[in-house]
Structure 1
Amino acid sequence: MSEKAGLSLKRPCRAVPEALTRDVPGEEMRVSPGIEQLLDGEVSSQVKGTAIGLLASAASVTPDLRHDLDALLAAGFKVVSVFGPEHGFRSTAQAAESESSTIDANTGVPVVDTYRRDPAEIADRVRAAGVELLLVDLQDVGARFYTYVWSMYDMLVAAGLAGVPVLVLDRPNPVGGDIVAGPMLAAEFASFVGRAPVPLRHGMTIGELARLFADLIGGVRVDVVPMRGWRREMRFGDTGLVWVPPSPNIPTALTAACYPGTGLIEGTNLSEGRGTTTPFEVLGAPWLDARLARSIAALELPGAAVRQTSFVPAFSKHAGTPVHGLHLHVTDPRRFDPVHTAVAILATLRCCWPDDFAWRTPFCDKLAGSAALRESIDACGDAADITASWEGPLNAFRALRERFLLYGSGR
């Protein structure tokens, strides 16, 4: 193995002691993500000349919207292979699909599809490509069941098997890093929408998660190129960065704000808005009516306005059929609690439409992390009581994650 496989990065993985901001002449203050810090910083000289494998998607871009692969090649980095998650390296595939292994038409670099591949198979592809360092740059959305973090998890396992170090280029958690919420994942419900025991809303960046995962996996070396200027209380609109859809059904940052909650609707017989221009912001079913929107609006849940809506999904559940339901309009991303909102919606559906509402088992339990949420809602549990029942496990996770955090709050 090349000596480069034992790359020694001068930038340590430690908590940033104070919030740092990047002041670009002629521009407003904005967050500088890990890819920019790699290209501009001292780590660059240590990585150039190393045979790089890049795990990335269409949203893996510099602040001036150049794709990582193009920017790295233009800067003289030696990228020998790229690896694609669910939706593919160029993010053209729909949910539960990916792009096949091929050659990237723009650059001629080989592309390896990792979606649902066994880590041992990925490790073989890493070795075959002669990779000496794996770069990971994926835009997560802050929810446990978003699969990009589990593609990274599998890549960390593969890297350990191949004896290759990993360097994660950090990016903002669009729903912030100050709130941890939702049910924990029970080990017996592990799947590709949750491999490790983290809560539904984990409140960590992808770099922080990589540090946690490396500790859980063991036998893999992980370093992180941290961001400049990111603080835990930031939502994506505070970063000064342009939102690039990481996958086809997360078109906006407001979609991402809803997703940690309304992603649970995928585990039911309602449409979660796939096949519309506002997925995860709208939900509905043919048998619903305006009472759902009125009931949820009456709860006066913070940070969102609710209106009745009807729509016809172009694909996915109820494709081509008029459905009725509600549209969540996030008015204050800091106050909006997507998980509690979704639990309130599910509880209302189960109690008011018991003969029509149905779960998609076992998928609903994989999304929630256990059967407890489904069972509590089936028992007509109160949404506030259900969310309160998670606090004990969440407090234990909050204490655990402190070891892996890289950023603080405030200025």
Structure 2
Amino acid sequence: MIRAAGYIFDFISAIVKIFMLLIFILFLPWLFLWNIQVQEHQIIVTTAGNNFKLGIEILSEEFLKNLTPSSDLSYAVGLITNQTGIDQKGNKTIDILLQKGLKIHTIFSPHHGFDGTLVANAKGSDTCDPKTNIPIINLHGKDGIKKLNKKNISSIDVFIFDLQDVGIRYYGYAITLLEIMYAAANYEKIIVVLDRPNPLGSCMEGAFGYGYANHKNNIESIPWRHGMTIGELARYYNAHILTKPAKLFVVPMQNYNRTFSQSNLIMSSLSPNLTSINSCYGYSFLGLLGEIRPFDVGIGTDKAFQCIMLPETFNFPRKKWKELGSLLEPLGIESIFYRYLSKRKQYYYSGLRLFIRNINNFSAYKTLLTIITFFKQSGISFSLSNYFDKVASAIVLRKLIMEIKNQKEIINELNINIQQFFNKAHTTFLYQPLPQPTMM
């Protein structure tokens, strides 16, 4: 009887062990996926010290008083800002300037509007800040820049610019800065730029714009990923792009190192699809890949610029996605298989979710070309969207993608241009280490 009971106990024990083994096997992949997703928020390689300060955080009353001949704070301010204009404690730039005694006459909101929620094709309207009742002129949209006219600027004495840029030439905030500087120069206004980090770190790489060889003194003379802060860009614009320089003051950051991880310094969504440091990293190459059909990069989802997808109607094999993941790993990208239903397009996509570990050791340009080459060799045909040229503004990149010209010749030209730009921009850099030209 005892022996029979022992057999029953052993049988039950064996069943339990098998059950536990099955549970372990079933949930191991999910545990792995969860672990990767947790690590996504642990990108910090070297963090800024406690003494790091943004431009807005070291703005002194003495500096502000000395901006105009009156040596007081009676001048009218035109503030260019949005939801990214905050300090490290979350205080808004608007409130900080008002507390310092400045008179903000008008707020100018950039692309995506005052709260950063306007999508690309949405119409933005002028309004007022609900807290202070200060009028807001919305520069969003193709006609927004036309509002930087004499009527809206004549009453302003000093422009103050405080926006968090993403570090890519064609992104809207860098373009807004240039337009504001043109207006300040033309109407003889002072402009103050409060500096902020470049989320994409120290690398300087990529194609220049259309007509670079013939127009080396416009925004097309800046490489795709420039490695500069918004304050350094302002200094470059003033020295090399504006034919009539503006009266520019840059308030630099304190204890900033461009190789520090920026994950704890980007304190607000930049736009509807740039909502985290991971989307900023991905935007460095997926911003262009998203303009190449038939790829999808998660626009309109919480994974925007963090994935590469194809419609499932393409029946692209899962083993091919694994092969692509293996190609991306040496470039500094970890990946997992990912699938989602696009609410915009009403069908399923599948592909890879991407995780960039160290943005300072990552080449966005090389990654983009690797992806394009892989899909071409895999038999995927594609075309450039109507918006591609407006975004990329780079005939060299179009040639590389469409293989119109020998790639080695183009890459050699790119490398020469990058080094020449670095040498030219050298005097406008504010921080050590300097941006690092990344050769192909």
Interval containing the TM-score (normalised by the shorter chain): 0.7 to 0.9
Matching residue of 1:211: 235
| Paired residue total | 371
Matching residue of 2:301: 276
1:46 equivalent to 2:66? Answer yes
**Aligned partner (choices 218, 221, 225) of residue 201 of structure 1:** 225
Q: Is the 8 A contact 1:264 1:364 kept in 2?
A: yes
**Aligned partner (choices 55, 78, 86) of residue 111 of structure 2:** 86
With 107-116 and 343-352 compared, the bigger mean Cα shift is at 343-352
Q: Considering only aligned residues, what root-mean-square deviation do their CA atoms show, in Å?
A: 2.6
Q: Sort the Cα spacing of 1:189 and 1:396 in 2 relative to 1 into closer, same or farther, 3 A.
A: closer
CA distance in 2, matches of 1:254, 1:378: 29
Task: Provide, for residues 168-200 of structure 1, a one-character-per-residue CA deviation record: whole Å limited to 9, x for no partner.
Answer: 000000111x3110111123899xxx9431111
Q: Sort the Cα spacing of 1:289 and 1:245 in 2 relative to 1 into closer, same or farther, 3 A.
A: farther
Matching residue of 2:349: 323
Matching residue of 2:168: 143
Matching residue of 1:183: 207
CA distance in 2, matches of 1:385, 1:296: 26
Q: Displacement of 1:63 after TM fit?
A: 1.3
Q: Is the 8 A contact 1:296 1:306 kept in 2?
A: no
**Aligned partner (choices 80, 96, 104) of residue 55 of structure 1:** 80
CA distance in 2, matches of 1:50, 1:378: 53
Task: Provide, for residues 12-69 of structure 1, a one-character-per-residue CA deviation record: whole Å limited to 9, x for no partner.
Answer: xxxxxxxxxxx9xxxx61521111111x463133353221001112111111111111
Q: Displacement of 1:145 after TM fit?
A: 1.8
CA distance in 2, matches of 1:160, 1:230: 29
Matching residue of 2:53: 32
**Aligned partner (choices 328, 335, 353) of residue 306 of structure 1:** 335
**Aligned partner (choices 391, 395, 399) of residue 367 of structure 1:** 391
CA distance in 2, matches of 1:69, 1:289: 52
**Identity in percent:** 25
Q: Displacement of 1:70 after TM fit?
A: 1.8
1:75 equivalent to 2:96? Answer no
Q: Is the 8 A contact 1:87 1:98 kept in 2?
A: no
Matching residue of 1:259: 283
SS at match of 2:330: coil
Q: Is the 8 A contact 2:197 2:258 kept in 1?
A: no
**Aligned partner (choices 365, 373, 376) of residue 347 of structure 1:** 373
Q: Sort the Cα spacing of 1:103 and 1:280 in 2 relative to 1 into closer, same or farther, 3 A.
A: same
Letter in 2 for 1:330: I
Point out the structure with max Rg over C-alpha. 2
Task: Provide, for residues 72-117 of structure 1, a one-character-per-residue CA deviation record: whole Å limited to 9, x for no partner.
Answer: 1123211110001110022121124453111111210000112334
Q: Displacement of 1:397 after TM fit?
A: 0.5
Q: Sort the Cα spacing of 1:391 and 1:242 in 2 relative to 1 into closer, same or farther, 3 A.
A: closer
Q: Displacement of 1:382 after TM fit?
A: 9.8
CA distance in 2, matches of 1:187, 1:235: 34
SS at match of 2:308: strand
Kindly indicate which of the two structures has a greater share of residues assigned to helix: 2
Letter in 2 for 1:297: G
**Aligned partner (choices 312, 332, 338) of residue 358 of structure 2:** 332
**Aligned partner (choices 39, 42, 65) of residue 90 of structure 2:** 65
Matching residue of 1:230: 256
Matching residue of 1:160: 185
With 68-77 and 165-174 compared, the bigger mean Cα shift is at 68-77
Q: Is the 8 A contact 2:168 2:224 kept in 1?
A: yes
Matching residue of 1:124: 150
Q: Displacement of 1:159 after TM fit?
A: 1.4
CA distance in 1, matches of 2:123, 2:423: 36
Q: Displacement of 1:253 after TM fit?
A: 0.9
Q: Is the 8 A contact 2:88 2:267 kept in 1?
A: no
Matching residue of 1:4: none
CA distance in 2, matches of 1:43, 1:312: 53
Matching residue of 1:18: none
Q: Sort the Cα spacing of 1:335 and 1:385 in 2 relative to 1 into closer, same or farther, 3 A.
A: farther
Q: Sort the Cα spacing of 1:37 and 1:83 in 2 relative to 1 into closer, same or farther, 3 A.
A: same
Gaps of 5+ in 2: 1-47, 68-72, 435-440
Q: Sort the Cα spacing of 1:330 and 1:120 in 2 relative to 1 into closer, same or farther, 3 A.
A: closer
CA distance in 2, matches of 1:301, 1:243: 30
Q: Displacement of 1:388 after TM fit?
A: 5.3
CA distance in 1, matches of 2:303, 2:411: 26
Matching residue of 2:30: none
Q: Sort the Cα spacing of 1:308 and 1:406 in 2 relative to 1 into closer, same or farther, 3 A.
A: same
- The 5 A counterparts of 1:89-128 are 89-97=114-122, 99-115=124-140, 116-117=142-143, 121-128=147-154
Q: Is the 8 A contact 1:94 1:248 kept in 2?
A: yes
- Normalization by structure 1: what TM-score? 0.83
- Normalization by structure 2: what TM-score? 0.78
With 301-310 and 59-68 compared, the bigger mean Cα shift is at 301-310
